[in-house]
Chain A
Amino acid sequence: DTGVSQDPRHKITKRGQNVTFRCDPISEHNRLYWYRQTLGQGPEFLTYFQNEAQLEKSRLLSDRFSAERPKGSFSTLEIQRTEQGDSAMYLCASSLSELAGLITDTQYFGPGTRLTVL
């Protein structure tokens, strides 16, 4: 068990460019979550997947954001036409949901990708 990994750890981009982040969850985990954390704040939920299905998206996730988890393993989060307000830490977490929602499972977080939009 190597934990949740994210790539890249840091990304600096110019306004208007597209960026893509990758998250590799803990291998047996079927749920994967994306959060955004701005300076001085706690993480805010963006979206989550059960296997390859995207089950929910926050209203924070504008049309410029898209997330995928094509084979139910790793996930990508793409931001198109980045804006300075997108600068934040993007966190990925995973969990193993065994009982179809009967018991909530602990989420394990990756190290995050820090995005800076100039």
Chain B
Amino acid sequence: QPVLTQPPSASASLGASVTLTCTLSSGFSDYRVDWYQQRPGKGPRFVMRGGTGGIVGSRGDGIPDRFSVLGSGLNRYLTIENIQEEDESDYHCGAHHGSGNIFIVVFGGGTKLTVL
């Protein structure tokens, strides 16, 4: 099953852009990842799924188009443009691995985004 690695923290200034990274373990370069936003004290919220070609499907409910995804090799990126105060959150990536009788969902450790 894949292992997802995220840097523990990131920061960006109000109005700027930031790119968060989720790295898949070796051998899983064709996997898509799901991005989730978790505001302080709240449950996670689905942002979107991303692969090497960008977004897969549609954004989650109420997610503005300031959020976008891309991918390259083992890396999956979530970019937030024109950062707002409400974007300060933990961002988690997740993926599911299914093969035959196997179905597993894994998550990365999460990145805490601070808006300066």
A and B: bona fide binding partners = no
